[in-house]
Amino acid sequence: MDLRQFWAKFNRNKDAEETEADLLGALHNLPRHLAIIMDGNGRWARKRGLPRSLGHRAGVEALRTAVKTCSNLGLEVLTVYAFSTENWKRPRDEVNILMDLLIEYLQRETEELHRNNVRIRAIGGLSELPQAAQAELARAGKLTASNTGLVLNLALNYGGRVEIINATREIARLVKKGKCQPEDINEEMFAGFLYTAGLPDPDFLIRTSGEMRVSNYLLWQLAYSEIYVTDTLWPDFNKIQLLKALLVYQQRDRRYGGIK
C-alpha cells in the first residue's frame, strides 16, 4: 500500500487496531537510525492546567512507547534528545525533575529493555550530570553492553556545537603531538571523534510540537537526514503517529545532491 492508498483507507476507517495493522503492513524501507527531538511536554501540561513536571512525566510514557515500537520494528538506533546543553537555563526545580525522571526511567526500564535485547547508551557531557544519573547510566550501559538489538541512545547534556568543538580539540592534540597530519583529517576520521562514533548517521529526524529548528541537535550527523515535524505534542505522540511518520519517510526521495 502506498501513502495515498493508505490515507484514503485511514480517512475512511478510524478503527485504531486495523489502522495499526495496515500501517505495519505498509512499512518497508525503514530508517536504520531514527533521531527524535521530544518537544512539547510543557505545552501539553499547560493545555491541561497541569504543572510542567506532569508533562515531563507523560513524556516518559511516550518515550517508552517509542522505544518499544522501534525495537519491535528492528531499527538499529534510536537517538532521543532528552536534555540539551541549553536546558540548564531552566529553573532549577525543572532541571531537578528532569534528572530525577531520567534516574527513575533507567531504574524502572533497564531490566525490561535488557530482556528485549536493547543496548542503552548515552551521548553528551555526561560527566556534568548528577552523580546518581551517571551511576544509573553506567549500570544500564554495562548490563546491556553486549545486546545486539536496538541501540537506545539518550542525548543528555547534549549540544552539537560542544560535540564538534571537543572532537576538534582531540584532533588538534594529536596533530600537536605529531600523531597525525592536518591532511589526514577527513569526514570519516572526524566522525570518529564525535559521541556517535561507530553509529550510522540518522536517516530520519522527527521533531514534535511544531518548532522548525534543530536546537543544537546532532549538527554534524543530520547533514543528510530526512526531516519530519509534527504539531503533535510529545506526550501525545503515540505508536500510530510514529508508524505514520515512518510511512512518510519511506516515500522520501533521498538524492544526496545527486539526480535520479
* Residue 213 binding result from Mg ion, ligand IPE, none, given CB thresholds of 5 to 8 Å by partner type: ligand IPE
96 is catalytic: no
Determine the interface stretch with ligand IPE among 26-34, 39-47, 171-179, 242-250 (rule: CB under 6 A): 39-47
**Is 60 one of the binding residues for ligand IPE (CB under 6 A)?**
no
Q: Which is nearer to ligand IPE, 23 or 60 (CB)?
A: 60
The packing angle between helices 92-115 and 131-143, to 10°, is: 10
Q: Which grid cell is 191?
A: 566522525
- Least Å distance, CB 43 to ligand IPE, is 3
Interface residue with Mg ion, options 39, 136, 203, 226 (CB under 5 A): 39
Mark the segment that binds ligand IPE (CB under 6 A) among 40-48, 120-128, 136-144, 236-244: 40-48
How is residue 259 written as a grid cell?
Answer: 539526480
82 binds ligand IPE (CB under 6 A): yes
**Is residue 226 at the binding interface for Mg ion, with CB under 5 A as the rule?**
no
> Is the Cβ–Cβ distance between 251 and 195 less than 8 Å?
no
| Residue 41 touches ligand IPE, criterion: CB under 6 A | yes
Cβ nearer to ligand IPE, comparing 75 with 82: 82
Give the x/- contact pattern for ligand IPE in 193-222, rule: CB under 6 A. Answer: ----------------x-x-x-x-------
Residue with smaller CB distance to Mg ion, 45 or 113: 45
| 39 assigned to active site | yes
Nearest to 86 by CA among 77, 78, 95, 76: 95
Distance CA 112, CA 133 (A): 19
Among 23, 34, 35, 37, binds ligand IPE (CB under 6 A): 37
Q: Choose the catalytic residue: 2, 11, 22, 39.
A: 39
DSSP 63-99: HHHHHHHHHHHT-SEEEEEEEETTGGGS-HHHHHHHH
Residues that bind Mg ion (CB under 5 A): 39
